[in-house]
Amino acid sequence: MNQTDIFAASAVRLQMTDSIELTIQSLLAYGATHEHWGIAWSGGKDSSATLTLITWLLDTGRVPRPKTLTVFYADTRQELPPLAISAQQIMDELRERGIQVEVVTAPMDKRFMVYILGRGVPPPNNNTLRWCTRQIKIDPMQHALEQRLAQLDGQVLMITGVRQGESAIRDQRIEMSCSKDGAECGQGWYQQVLPNAKGLRGRLATLAPLLHWRVCHVWEWLRHWAPQDEFGDWSTAAIAEAYGGDEAEEINARTGCTGCPLVDTDMALDNILLNPQWAYLAPLKRIKPLWRELRKPEHRLRKAGLEILKSGKQAANPQRMGPLTFEARLMGLETILGVQAEINAAAHALRRPVVDLINDEEEARIRELIALETWPDGWDGDEPIATTIMDTVYANGAVQPRLFSEGDK
């Protein structure tokens, strides 16, 4: 007796050629209605696969070329060195093809290192102060898009590397949980608006042509297909190495900023250091402990009591800890410069790529901000060190006197 397998339909998995064909279909369906395309590229695995695949499809005529194509590379100045190096190589390859590449970087005073070590803002954390992603990536990208739109007529199609995996496609259609703009979902192949971008509304559509790709296809493209001459001769193999090489898919490492304060362990960096050719980057492991050290009370100021904000309202968190002292900032700067110098000395000896954690311009600006005695908004530097013993002040204004003075033993 033959028994019907009710899971057979969903068990049929997309092959690499199927995934590419569905990507072509999405580009043909939506790309033709936009004369101008942009590609948002972070240098990571999904956006790099999207970028190189689409360029190959355009070069080979499988997809008609738009009137203009602009690649926006989000340079946070915090990328893991192998990813940053690979991104630079890919940018060279794009420019050789005549494709316009715009490197998008945060303004000097809002760059990660300058903001912390120059302005004195504490390193970000997941609970009360997660400022980094928006400031060094999202806001600069939005500004770059607004500038590009001002130069063009009509709508622009912005292509992203958003990927949901094979579960996103069933019965040859995108199947998600909500509907938007007549599409199957709010984060499907096509949207007519870029969220949270007031200056771009009505002018910018977004497309995620690799939405349906399985992660194994991303690795297959980056490691084996894209580096071949017939698929573009791209410098993408190093990206897979940064994620763990042959074990990248199994490790499933998240890559982020070098020494990211928001994760418990530097899994991606640890994987990179397992490769002998990148072992000289080991001093980067000292960055995460530095950020943790700088969040301690002995390196920061604290509000002494109730605080009235510019809005006239009372702050909800009296006696909150705040910015870094000048001594802490200089200590942090010297630590990062020491890591950079140690790595680059080894790099020169081994004839390997150097790192650029803080460049000369950024160092000069950090020292200038310290010399100018710069404090973040709402702070004037007269506040006590956060370790100072004080009466406890509550949000309702009540005060609990301290039980002991600093001289008590």
Give the percent of the chain with pLDDT over 70: 76
In contact, 86 and 236? CB cutoff 8 Å: yes
Burial of 355 (0-12, 13-18, 19+ CB in 10 A): buried
**Helices and strands, counts by H and E, the chain:** 14, 12
Burial of 132 (0-12, 13-18, 19+ CB in 10 A): buried
Interval 19-59: pLDDT, tens? 999 999 999 988 988 999 999 999 989 999 999 999 999 99
Higher-confidence position of 409 and 276: 276
Instruction: State mean pLDDT over 6-19.
Output: 63
Among 113-127, 186-200, 347-361, whose mean pLDDT is lowest? 186-200
Give the percent of the chain with pLDDT over 90: 54
pLDDT at residue 203 in the model: 80
pLDDT at residue 248 in the model: 53
pLDDT at residue 343 in the model: 98
Q: The domain 10-231: what is its CATH number?
A: 3.40.50.620
In contact, 112 and 77? CB cutoff 8 Å: yes
Tell me which H or E stretch contains 190.
Answer: strand 190-191
- Helix, strand or coil for residue 193? coil
Looking up tokens 């355009």 gives: 58
Mean pLDDT of the chain: 82
The residue ranges of every structural domain in the chain are 10-231
pTM metric for this prediction: 0.83
Tell me how far apart the terminal alpha carbons of the chain are, to the nearest angstrom: 87
Task: Round to whole Å and give the CA distance between 61 and 54.
Answer: 11
Q: Is the dihedral of CA 124, 125, 131, 135 positive or negative?
A: positive
